[in-house]
Amino acid sequence: MTHDPTSSAGERALDPALQADLEELLAAPPEPTRRPTVPALEDALFRLVPVLDHGFVRVVDYMGDDAAIVQAARVSYGRGTRSVRNDRGLIRYLMRHRHTTPLEMCEIKLHVKLPIFVARQWIRHRTANVNEYSARYSILDREVYLPRPEHVAVQSSTNRQGRGDTLSDEQAAAVIELLRRDATQAYGTYEQLINDTGDGTPVDPSAPQVARELARVNLTLNTYTQWYWKIDLHNLLHFLALRIDAHAQYEIRVYGEAIGSLVKAWVPMAWEAFEDYRLGGAFLSREELGIVRQALAGGDLDPLIDGSSLSGREKRALRDRLAVESA
């Protein structure tokens, strides 16, 4: 048996049982329901949105829509306010003033396949319900993430968490080959330790069968795992605000972008407000707001920033937000 976890790059391999279940769900006629549904998200249900080389995101279930946000917000006002507070305007008001409770009325459940190192970043958002594939019980897929050459870069000199300039094609190819070699060797050892054809029968009857919970310990962090992830809209938007930011690691940012496209189809009015007030907006501290006010009153912005008590990083960030360059 060959041990190459990278041989099917670009494919979305599913467990045969899951594949059969997916095909059955997609072929089934829609279920009648009295609850609100969103046609655009109904069309996306169960379908894989490819991410990275072997990963994906798919919607398993959801609850609520833009109207559910409005309904929850209007509990305080009553039906008599509907004529003067249109749905879009109310949602924008909620987003603008950070009234988040009505957004919690909407929930979504996703099935995600992702590299373990991405999962370790993702799980820091402790506001969701998560059930991950168990490598104590099941055998992990023979798949790992390998970056594309344009995403292989040196350590950033200004950001300890990020990447700097990309490597040359030759250097990137050498790095990718090292990752491929290590992953292939590690998965080969994993298979050898498990010594299982998949139904409990040893591949090599003369060799020991090591418990799956122990056999997994040498696997590389770019090995793929899977989980079901359920979260309300308020906490999901907070997740996305951080993870689709340009400073987020590329490998988690592409998952955020895939999920964002689904959220846009699900709650388009809430997504529009989120883009305007969170993604495209800017938060200013008291001192930063004072600088902007002085500049609007006729002051010279650059000296105002330089003469402030802001730290060097804060000054750079303010200039970035205001799209101004240092003189």
Q: Tell me which residues are annotated as active site.
A: 243
End-to-end CA, the chain: 64
Helices (H), 50-115: 66-73, 87-96
DSSP state at residue 80: G
Q: How far apart are CA 312 and CA 305, in angstroms?
A: 10
Q: Which two tokens stand for residue 114?
A: 């992702």
Contacts 24+ apart (CB under 8 A), 317-322: 318/284, 318/288, 318/291, 321/282, 321/284, 322/292
Q: Which two tokens stand for residue 55?
A: 């990963």
Please report how many Cα atoms fall inside a 13 Å half-sphere around the Cα of residue 217, on the Cβ side.
Answer: 5
Q: Which two tokens stand for residue 20?
A: 């059969």
Q: How far apart are CA 261 and CA 61, in angstroms?
A: 16
Q: How far apart are CA 114 and CA 178, in angstroms?
A: 21
Collapse the DSSP code of 280 into the 3-class scheme (helix H, G, I; strand E, B; otherwise coil) and give the result. coil
Q: How far apart are CA 160 and CA 174, in angstroms?
A: 23
* Contact indicator for 277, 270 with CB cutoff of 8 Å: no
